[in-house]
A = this chain, B = another copy of it.
Amino acid sequence: MVNEEQKPVLRQMLKSEKTRAELLRAAEKIFARDGFEASRIEDIAAEAGRSRGAFYANFASKTEVFLTLRTLAAQKHARAVRERVQGLQDQEARYQALIGYIVEQIYDTQTQLLQIEFKLFALRHPRMQARLAEMHLEASTSVNRRELSDLFPEKSSLPAEMRCSTLEIEALLEGFALNARFSPKVLDEVSIQAIVPRLMAQIFSRAEGS
């Protein structure tokens, strides 16, 4: 049987995939906790229950794992939007689902802090900046375009504007996530719920209450 020979190899590959996945999860946590610069490979490896060597068997460098993480985050984001929006026939329902998802994002502080880290990283590595920004926007708007094209007909026809509103929303998310973490007592959930949806409405060109 073919399985007789493939099984061990397959098991090894699965094991290795598990190590890689563990390392990615660990890296995400450590990067968000300590920031890119202050994160130590050893901490990432330890968090994953692996050794430094295992890290370097799976990633070429600290930079590589960081950027890999961003690509995966973009994919995850795309999947999440799709899941929320698909199946909803009503345009208003889809809009509300989208807004709901975005507001939720503020509370996923780890993700938002990583986004901030990623953008700081990009603008501090001028050689990569243009490429990274392009990749980031391509990933973000490709989701929006496919899933939300009919939701904002007047905008979807203008990719440039779509990219722009994507960044505007991200600006809100990142700014509020950072400040909520910085001063959770002052910028608490109640305050955020009170203001963010109204700001979002402005971005989506909808007057409040319309």
Contact = CB atoms under 8 A, between A and B. Distances in A.
A182 B124 contact: no
A179 B186 contact: no
Interface in A98-117: 113, 116
Would you call the interface of chain A mostly helix, strand, loop, or mixed? Answer: helix
A127 B136 CA distance: 34
A172 B173 CA distance: 9
Copies per assembly: 4
A182 B185 CA distance: 29
A171 B168 contact: no
Contact of A199 (B116, B136, B183, B202): B202
A187 interface: yes
Interface string A117-147: 0011011100001000100110000000000
Interface in A54-105: none
A41 interface: no
B175 A170 contact: yes
A16 to B, nearest CB: 15
A71 B181 CA distance: 20
7 contacts: A35-B37, A38-B124, A171-B178, A171-B179, A172-B199, A207-B208, A208-B208
Interface of A: 33-35, 37-38, 113, 116, 119-120, 122-124, 129, 133, 136-137, 160, 163-164, 167-168, 170-176, 178-179, 181-183, 185-187, 191, 195, 198-199, 202-203, 207-208
Given A167-B187, A195-B202, 8 more contacts: A119-B178, A120-B178, A133-B182, A133-B183, A163-B186, A167-B183, A171-B178, A174-B179
